[in-house]
Structure 1
Amino acid sequence: MKVKNKTLLLLASMVWMIAGINIARIGFLSYQGYISIINIILSLIIFIVFWSMIFQKLVQKHTIRIKQYTTEKQYFWNFFDIKSFCIMAFMMTFGILIRNFHLMPQLFIAVFYTGLGLALVFAGASFGHKYLNFQR
């Protein structure tokens, strides 16, 4: 149940990569019939906003927290704190509700999910980079 502190960064990387790939996949599949320069630009803007305002800071915050653990091993779920798990659960629930109850048009799903998914993938890659360069 316990893993080395460095491994927590790898776990965070895997969780965010899996989530990001799944969300981006939904966005890409929804793009059929909506591919245009403006929509691609909107997805890019969503990516930049989510990466720079949320996920980049999240990666830094959790990397610092993990590096500050004083014991060599932690429970594997400690790659995030309670607040981050709650945010993730809210985002997943909200996303599932949007799609299952058709609360937003396909165009929104295509543009928003693509940008958000790619930002999540980038966060996962950043955690992976932190894992590879981990030093106490």
Structure 2
Amino acid sequence: MDHRQRPHFVLALEPVEAAVRAARDTVRAALEGWDRQDVHGDLELITSELVTNAIRHANTVTLVLYLPDDKTAMVEVWDDNPHGPAVPALDLQAEGGRGLMLVGALARAWGWRATAEGKVTWAQTVTP
């Protein structure tokens, strides 16, 4: 199947806290509609963390979800901030700063790439 025929979804989000829940709910509904399971909620959590980072550091945020093959789900968060995400040093006393560590622990792979308008932060997971 041509990659353009694979299931995909694009959602522009306002850079506000409510966008995190909207993104998570959208991912859940899309996967259910595509008859895919996010058994442990990993992709929802990854989406929450990536969108949270984007709304804190950018003015535009777009969520892209797609299924490149029968076993893989990809989530991308596009934003207008050209600076790549940084994993902070672990501080067990800090109230935050663990989001990208969670993404790294839950995703098969993750990373980011620059775009003409900013960057894309992406994560790949396996779905049954």
TM-score (norm 2): 0.27
Higher helix share: 1
TM-score (norm 1): 0.26
Structure of larger gyration radius: 1
Higher strand share: 2
